[in-house]
Structure 1
Amino acid sequence: MRRRRRWRAIPCCCLRPARASTCSPTTRTAGGGSRSMCMSWADPQTMTLRWPDAGAAERPRHRDQTILVLTLLLVAVGLGMIYSASGVMAYKRFGDPSYFLKRQMLWLVFGLVCLLAVARTDLNRLRRWAVPLLFLGALGVVLVLIPGVGVTVKGARRWLRIGMWTVQPSELVKVGILLYLAHYLAKKGSRITDFWRGFVPPLVVVGAIVGLILIEPDMGTAAVIGLVTLGLLFVGGARLGHLLLIGLAALPVLYLLVMRVSYRRQRILSFLDPWSDPTGSGFQVIQSFLALGSGGVSGVGLGEGRQKLFYLPEPHTDFVLSALGEEAGFLGTIAVLLLLGWFVARGFAIALEADDPFARYLALGVCFFVGFHTLINVGVITGLLPTKGLTLPFVSYGGSSLVVNMIGTGLLIAVSRHRPPI
């Protein structure tokens, strides 16, 4: 009896949907047999090469271990740098040089629990929770804006106090937005090309949340969410003209947000020329330059950095990479960035192998969030972008940020369970 062959789809490098169909002639295999290869563009969700795989039925699904190892390596680097960069400051403020390290480790334990829980959760169940989680995240952002409820630090009201802990709802809402966008794009399919019925609705939903985040104000998080939303709409098949139209419409809004507010305008001016105000708005970036320059190729040695001694503001949060650059040098900085790049690349590989549109968009969204966060953080510490107050994923101090990133890793592992191994 002739064995039936099971067909499986191998995603191509292009993630955007297409609208045509071509098939190539039968190709000869190395063993002398033949395979029928087809380029399928008919499915609005994927562009795939299809060929028969006799062993696909026997190939077990598996969790991606590489993404977990990369996460743990980055977290380990982060814990070391948090202790090194904050030890002196923590001792002066709290009498305990490991104060910030201990708090980050507690958040890490909670983050690992979330990672394992999400990694073991069925994607269909996660999809059913997309809208409720989005609503809960938006509710948290609203609560922050209520006087007496939100915690104000340095003029920004971004946190909620829960007992002895503070959480940042604008970080947590990213999970709800990601699940919602993945669900919406998978549901709409090719109808995303319809401007009013497909393209505009998610922009209205996400735009409302971004507007609330801007009121806090938190320009950095709002910018990342906006970039991720447009990125997912693009790979989901939205028309390029629609995306450009939204970009043009956002320009006057950005102008009003930046140039009409004095401290934001000053940030832009100091970004263009930080030396024009070296003791004021340009101080932070200049100290970052000094830290990176002092490190040279191999660094001054772990724990031996000087800029963290009350020169470089926020050396354990937004500018942790500057502190790392001073102590571990150019080589250490590049090593951390390569780990982050590998994380994003591995996430893209998981997305490419996903056999479900929701899973694919979910994995891509995690990659976009980590990738844009990293690019903006690096741009800020090197003076290529104005200061935004964004953390370096997995490395910077920040409980809400760490937990959300760990959930992102859990989502990638959950998606990897629904694909053949690479």
Structure 2
Amino acid sequence: DELDNDITGGATPASFEPSIDYVVTKIPRFAFEKFPGASTTLTTAMKSVGEVMAIGRTFQESLQKALRGLETGLTGLDEIEIPGLRGSPNEDRNAIRAALGTPTPDRLRMVAQAIRMGTSLEEVHQMCRIDPWFLEQIDGIIQMEARIREHGLPQDAANLRHLKSMGFSDARLASLTRREAAEVSRLRERLDVHPVYKRIDTCAAEFASPTPYMYSTYETPFAGSVRSEAEVSDRKKVVILGGGPNRIGQGIEFDYCCCHAAFALRDAGYEAIMVNCNPETVSTDYDTSDRLYFEPLTAEDVLEILRAEKALGTLHGVIVQFGGQTPLKLAEALEKAGIPILGTSPDMIDLAEDRDRFQKLLMKLGLAQPRNGIAHSVEQARTIAGELGFPLVVRPSYVLGGRATQIIHDEGMLQSY
């Protein structure tokens, strides 16, 4: 009781028992694609390369935010194929038991898929030994997915807000209803369904907290109007997008850049606003920036933050260059939304990342480059491989750190790639 709680600005001592009105979900990020020969079975050995953290008012909201924050292409509890299914009840049951009984990075989605296929929660519990409470929460998401598929998107604000409060992203709702995510976004805009931002204060708002540590949630206005605790200022401000969960090729070096960008902006008189979802970083310390949004780095989540920040003060722009590939992929969507991108323009970023455009630029400037070719189909890849000869380095556009890069020694490896 002699130590102050910095989160509440000293309003409570460190001995004050926390009162939590939010749910935190952490999910590890794995990179088994970098190690083709490694076993994907999870054991007591450390195999993850990073992790994502998400915060919401409910477990369902927090879970689905964490899944899309992993940056593995997920939009929520996406469908997954359970290996070994053959259409025979007995064989399928054995395949489900094997999938759920083996701890792998995809087991959470395997559990959801088994529930979709009609496996009872009791059976799922016996197979994976996950606590029934968590299975019931996942089942609630699956049941809501079935309703969305059957009835489509609700056309009223209350029901759409309820879906969003369960953590459904625009992209996931679009997938379930066979629409485009932009259509869902326009529907939300028309119905004025937007998140509010709450403050991490460890005391459930019992005491005022000056700590600028925010997370989003969709609050129902059943007891008056909803209240955002972000307390957006009227200062000139710049938003920095972090790098998300650590992975091979995109790690702490980018966080170092984000932190120093925040320090430099503050020294220059700007309000530095950080957006990130990686709990292992310095950029997500509550005192690194003037305001921290602990949110997934997706276009939907970032645009909602910018919408809130633009309501007051002057948003001079967003910095995407310091967080690695993650924010670079958002540059085009932000520019289309009318958000100023500070530093390198999205077109110049694309020029450097699009191998076709970059190759043509080198040729135009007369600069030397290794013998290479650009393939847009398997047949083109075979033709270019025949011209260049093996071994080859094959790499897609728009990646950092060698992601999806392979050394190809023969046509069989090329076909597999």
Query: TM-score, length-normalised on structure 1?
Result: 0.25
**Relative contact order, CA 8 A, sep 6+: which one is greater?**
1
> Which is helix-richer, 1 or 2?
1
